[in-house]
Every structure is written in C-alpha cells, then in structure tokens.
Amino acid sequence: MSIWKREMTLEALNQTSKGTMVEHLGIVYTRMDGESLEAEMPVDARTQQPFGLLHGGASVVLAETLGSMAGFLTTTEGQCVVGTEINASHHRAVASGKVRGVCKPLHLGKSSQVWEIAIFDARDKRCCTSRLTTAVLG
C-alpha cells in the first residue's frame, strides 16, 4: 500500500527542481517506495560552511525539500502544502562526499502533516534529524 496520491517518476520529480535552489545545491531525488522519499545532496563548496563542514542550513534545505515534495505527493488535484515549522538536530559533522535524506510521515492529516527526515553520511551514519510540519491547503 502506498501513501502517494499523485504518480510521478523520479525523473519527473527531478525536473521540478530545474532553475531552483534545489538544483543549485545539487539535490537529486533517488528513491521512492510506498511510504518514503529519498534524495542525495553533495557536500561541496555550495553546501559547506566556512570551516569546510556541511552547513546546517543546507541540511535543513534538504529536509524541507524532501518533506514538501512528499507532502505534495500525498495531496490531490487542487491541493498544495506549505511548510509551517521545521527543526533540525545535527548529530555529527560531514566534510565531503554526499548526504542522503530519507523522508517518512509521522502524521498525515486532512489539514496538516508531520514528516521526519533523517540525513545520513556516506558511511550510513545519521548526521541530522529534522521534522517538518506542513499545512494542507485547498
């Protein structure tokens, strides 16, 4: 059983990023199953802070990107979602490579949603846990 109400391929999802901050940061959707959505983001000059580590704000961009798209995919024609709150706990530093975000629902209501986005480094160690709350409009 799937939580998704809209059908989009990974290729179509990645096309939505053209010309946006998502594309600029190199975020690419990589996997979707019945209840989760994943994306990768490089750790490079676009996403590092001045000390050479992954910028916490870049992790939040990855989290909000995943949660917002997942929220959109669980709505029907005429509906949309907007983020209302996001938080992030940073567990370990990442200096290079890629990070992978895994987005899963905690709550899927008629007017609000809550998503957990776990971000892992290249060794599959959790480096950040984020929670995004969205409002469902329409």
Q: Which two tokens stand for residue 47?
A: 């996403």
Predicted local distance difference test score (pLDDT) of residue 83:
97
Does 24 map to a domain? yes
Structure token pair of residue 24: 């600029």
In a domain, 55, yes or no: yes
Give domain status of residue 53, yes or no: yes
64 a catalytic residue? yes
pLDDT at 138: 93
- pLDDT tens digits for range 86-122: 999 999 999 999 999 999 999 999 999 999 999 999 9
pTM: 0.97
Q: Where are the beta strands (DSSP E) in 43-79?
A: none
Q: Which domain holds residue 82?
A: 10-137
pLDDT at 1: 87
- Residue 93: CA atoms inside 13 Å, Cβ hemisphere, count? 6
CATH assignment of the domain containing 128: 3.10.129.10
Residue 122 maps to a domain: yes
Structurally, the chain folds into a number of domains equal to 1
Does residue 22 lie in a domain region? yes
Cα–Cα dist 117/59, whole Å: 10
pLDDT at 44: 98
- CA distances to 34, 64, 78, 123 from 100, rounded to whole Å, are 18, 13, 31, 10
- Copy the structure tokens of residue 93: 């530093």
29 in a structural domain: yes
- Look at residue 2 and tell me if it is in a domain: no
Below-50 pLDDT ranges, the chain: none
Residue 1 within any structural domain of the chain: no
Which of 7, 40, 64, 77 is catalytic? The answer is 64
